[in-house]
Amino acid sequence: MARSPSPFKRSLPSSPASPAFWRSPVRGPWFTSVLGVVLLVGITVLFVTGLLSYAAYNPGLSPVNDKTPDKGVLGFYLFSWPTDPHWLYRLNQGVHVTLGITLIPVLLAKLWSVVPKLFALPPARSLAHALERISLLLLVGGALFEFTTGVLNVQLDYLFPGSFYPLHFYGAWVFFAAFVTHAVLRVPAAVRNLRGLREEREEREEREEREEREEPAAGKPSRPDLQQDLEGGELVSPAPAGATVSRRGALGFVGGGSLLLFGTTVGQNFDGPPRATALLAPHGGSEPGSGPGGFQINKTAASRGITAAETSEEAWRLVVTGRTGTVRLSRAELRQLPLHSAALPIACVEGWSTSDQWWRGVRLRDLAALVGYEAEAAPDVLVESLQRHGAFRRAALRANQVRDPRSLLALDVNGEPLTPDHGHPARIIVPAAPGVLNTKWVARMTFGDLG
Ligand SMILES: Nc1nc2c(c(=O)[nH]1)N[C@H]1C(S)=C(S)[C@@H](COP(=O)(O)O)O[C@H]1N2
Ligand SMILES: [Mo]
């Protein structure tokens, strides 16, 4: 039986450099412009919350909290992270991580929508065109790098401990420089496209209404794709395959993906039943259980090599050093000092946080007073844990954090002594600070100006 030759087979180009190679009818300026405008807003928020998160880590207290070389140049904006409002880091990091994860489908769809341009030949038509394409490589590479390192860090428990910060931080600057260049070049066109398309649609609807009233058209002729005439019209396939979904439908699909990621992530910012909905969020490798210590645990005592022998009443002593020398305190002696309470959350850089917990312990500024500092003139402090290996066994706090009356060396949480996993015999808790500064199993505190 003779078959009629397919009209496409012959003409289908095999090279991705040819526009006709790309056949999805979804590609076009509208789809790309909508996604671009969403990313413009979203990535700007990611950049700002990211820089703030970095400031909250106190990288200026070198070389303890962060060892990124050249952070002095890129960190020109750094400032003493405030202690108010006490949920500041919880909000900042919740937005940074949740929004970053939610934007993944938008980013992927945006890259997909412009992928034909990646293959366009010649590679450069002019110097300006060459520069633009290089900036696009930095943009795409930077976006993939920032999203990948971010997700790996959140999901895989600090895959690059120590090196994650410099990677993500340098990457953010490179990426954002390319992003700003791209936005300056492209946003005007995206906005014109969206505005033009809306006006065009309104006009057409009016015209169609009028036509229907005057002479009901039988079988309207199909219109050419108007998007070809817009900026970025070369994205429209010259040989589109049959549509399986409308452009709006495709956008809805992307939005649905984002909503799904959001819905399975956002719960990690809350205690109780919402946390169980955070299917995609890692749980730090341990179940918090119930009772006073029943809130999220990042690293367990066992996993950090903390033993019952070294935290016992007999063995453990807090060593506090300052201007007037060194003081050693047992847990019983710490309990003789004035004890204060504060309701504060744990908010991890990974993007999970707890509600406020009731902490009770000795004010950091009262400990500073034991070694020769007026409470109002307390300096920075270096806090070191019993932990011998691994990240986060020591952290530095700034004077403004030490002086805040809610900053405690906590002995109890929610009315009971700390559990081993939450830092027994004593841990730091500071308002508005990232969890990483709330050192557990504290052994030594050294007061003095650090940098
Ligand atoms: N000694 C020590 N303290 C530590 C850590 C650690 O690994 N070792 N992890 C920190 C991090 S990253 C966080 S988010 C909080 C978590 O406290 P939690 O386990 O009580 O919720 O503890 C901080 N204190
Ligand atoms: Mo953390």
- The CA-based angle 138-99-46, given to 5 degrees, is 45
| Per-residue confidence (pLDDT) for residue 50, from 0 to 100 | 96
Q: Ligand 1 mean position to 376 CA, how many Å? A: 28
Report DSSP state, residue 416. Answer: E
CA 309 to chain centre: 39
- Residue 410 parent element (H or E): strand 408-413
Q: Indicate left, alpha or beta for 55 from its phi (over 0: left) and psi (-120 to 50: alpha).
A: alpha
Mean pLDDT in residue range 373-395: 92
Task: Give the closest residue (by CA) to ligand 1 atom 7.
Answer: 392
Q: Ligand 1 mean position to 392 CA, how many Å? A: 7
Instruction: Outline which parts of the chain fall under CATH 3.90.420.10.
Output: 302-447
CA-CA distances (angstroms) from residue 199 to 107, 194, 205? 27, 9, 10
| Per-residue confidence (pLDDT) for residue 276, from 0 to 100 | 84
Question: How far apart, in whole angstroms, are the C-alpha atoms of residue 88 and residue 141?
Answer: 31
Question: How confident is the model over 168-226, as pLDDT tens digits?
Answer: 999 999 999 999 988 888 888 889 989 988 888 899 899 988 888 876 555 555 556 77
Confidence grade of residue 273 (pLDDT, cut at 50, 70, 90): confident
* Pairing mode, strands 381-385 and 427-429: unpaired
Q: Ligand 1 mean position to 167 CA, how many Å? A: 22
- Across 49-63, 279-293, 332-346, least confident range: 279-293
Question: How confident is the model over 94-143, as pLDDT tens digits?
Answer: 999 999 999 999 999 999 999 998 888 888 888 888 888 888 899 999 99
pTM for this prediction: 0.91
In 3-state terms the chain splits into helix, strand, coil percentages (rounded to 5) of: 45, 10, 40
Ligand 1 pocket, CB under 6 A: 296-299, 304, 346, 348, 385, 387, 392-393, 422, 435-436, 438-441
Report DSSP state, residue 216. Answer: P
Asked if 16 and 117 touch (Cβ cutoff 8 Å), the reply is no
Question: How confident is the model over 310-322, as pLDDT tens digits?
Answer: 999 999 999 999 9
- Candidate of 283, 295, 299 to mutate for ligand 1, largest count of ligand atoms within 8 Å of Cβ: 299
Position 6 pLDDT exceeds 80: no
Q: Which of 72-86, 233-247, 294-308, 424-438 has the highest mean pLDDT?
A: 424-438
Asked if 363 and 408 touch (Cβ cutoff 8 Å), the reply is yes
Q: What is the CATH number of domain 302-447?
A: 3.90.420.10
Q: Ligand 1 mean position to 65 CA, how many Å? A: 14
- Closest by CA to 434, choosing from 57, 104, 16, 51, is 57
- Closest by CA to 50, choosing from 69, 75, 26, 25, is 75
Task: Give the closest residue (by CA) to ligand 1 atom 15.
Answer: 435
